[in-house]
Structure 1
Amino acid sequence: MDHAKPLPAYLLTRYHGWKATGYADNKSWYRRLATEGQRPRAMVISCCDSRVHVTSIFGADQGEFFIHRNIANLVPPCEPDGQHHGTSAAVEYAVRVLNVAHLIVLGHSSCGGAKGCLEMCKGNAPELEAKDSFVGRWVDILRPKYGEVADIEDEQEQERQFEKHAVMTSLENLMTFPWVNEKVTNGELSLHGLWTDIGEGGLEYFCPETGKFQPV
């Protein structure tokens, strides 16, 4: 592995600062986590976007959330076809091994993945249409929802609604996994859909009674 390099200096400085303060002040807690294992109450599926910081939004500590991040916070439908399924594997581990009580899908404003899918659906992103585009084939999961927003004239509102459809798509697809469906039906697991406005710090949740997102 000749291509791997040492960490850049700024990351090393930050690490040593954390080790001397954050870790040193909570050493017993970290050691307890290491020896007793994790028992998170919730799994959060959020976007890879560096601006979305789940633990900060909820003030969570280490060991509290089992977090999986991917482009546009998408969950594919259950497809046990022998291929690599990172998101599906993470969901399986959280639900069947960790026995989380809550499964949260968190979408966000200005989502590049959702916008990319929109542009692809409009015929404006040939690079995403290419068969060898991993991003394009991933956001294909969201493509069927384009019809729900195609007639929205305001571009910003169209993007926001599509971002929220990404959350709803993931919630729908989660129910195609038999062990998720079973636990939800038995009341052992609850699903939650959230969308956060990065600039305003707002948080909305999907209300099944209205079929819409509303402020928490």
Structure 2
Amino acid sequence: MQHAKPLPSLLVQRYHGWKATTFAENSSWYRRLASEGQRPRSMVISCCDSRVHVTSIFGADSGEFFIHRNIANLVPPHQPDGAQHGTSAALEYAVTALEVSHLIVLGHSRCGGVQGCLDMCAGRAPELEEQSSFVGRWMDLLRPGYARVKDIVPEADQARALEKEAVLVSLENLMTFPFVRSAVEARTLSLHGLWTEIGAGELEYFDAVERRFVPV
């Protein structure tokens, strides 16, 4: 692998800083995690966006959350076709092996993936419509959400509306997985839809009774 390079010096310095402080102050906890394995109570499916810092939002320590990140925090529908499905594999492991109690889908403001889907569906991003576009084909998952907002939400508000639809589409698709549905029906697993406003630090959850997102 001749293309692999050493870490940039900045990251090396940050690692040594972490090892000398955070790790040193919690070394017994890290040893326990290493020897006993992980027992997270929750799985979080969030966006790859570097501005979404899941553990910081909830003040979590190592070992508390099983986290999977992808473009626009999307969950595909259950599709056992023998192909490689990273999100579905992470989901299966969390629910059937780790037996998490809570499954959280976390969306966010100013999501580039959602904006790309909006532009693609509106005909403004032909490059994403190419079959060779991994991002475009991934964002096809959100087309049902776009169909729900395009005619009833003003254009200026469609990006935010679609960000929240991404959460709802994922929640809907989660229930197509037999092991998720059975755990939910057995009340050993609960699903949660969240959306965070990055600039204001606000967090909203989807209220299934009121059918809208409300502040936490």
Q: TM-score range by the shorter chain?
A: over 0.9
Give 2:16's aligned residue: 16
- 2: distance between equivalents of 1:20 and 1:197? 33
Give 2:82's aligned residue: 82
Give 2:207's aligned residue: 207
1:44 and 2:11 correspond: no
- 1: distance between equivalents of 2:171 and 2:154? 26
1:149 to partner: Cα distance = 1.4
1:145 to partner: Cα distance = 1.7
Paired AA for residue 38 in structure 1: Q
What TM-score do you get using the length of structure 1 for normalisation?
0.98
Give 2:96's aligned residue: 96
Give 1:5's aligned residue: 5
What TM-score do you get using the length of structure 2 for normalisation?
0.98
Q: Secondary structure at the match of 1:141?
A: helix
- 1: distance between equivalents of 2:145 and 2:23? 45
- 1: distance between equivalents of 2:29 and 2:198? 31
Number of matched pairs: 215
CA-based RMSD of the aligned residues comes to 0.6
Give 2:112's aligned residue: 112
Alignment of 1:148-167 (within 5 A): 148-151=148-151, 152-155=153-156, 157-167=157-167
Alignment of 1:61-80 (within 5 A): 61-80=61-80
Identity %: 70
- 2: distance between equivalents of 1:107 and 1:144? 16
Q: Secondary structure at the match of 2:196?
A: strand
- 2: distance between equivalents of 1:172 and 1:144? 11
1:58 and 2:49 correspond: no
Q: Any unmatched runs of 5+ in structure 1?
A: none
Q: Secondary structure at the match of 2:44?
A: strand
1:153 to partner: Cα distance = 2.2
- 2: distance between equivalents of 1:58 and 1:26? 19
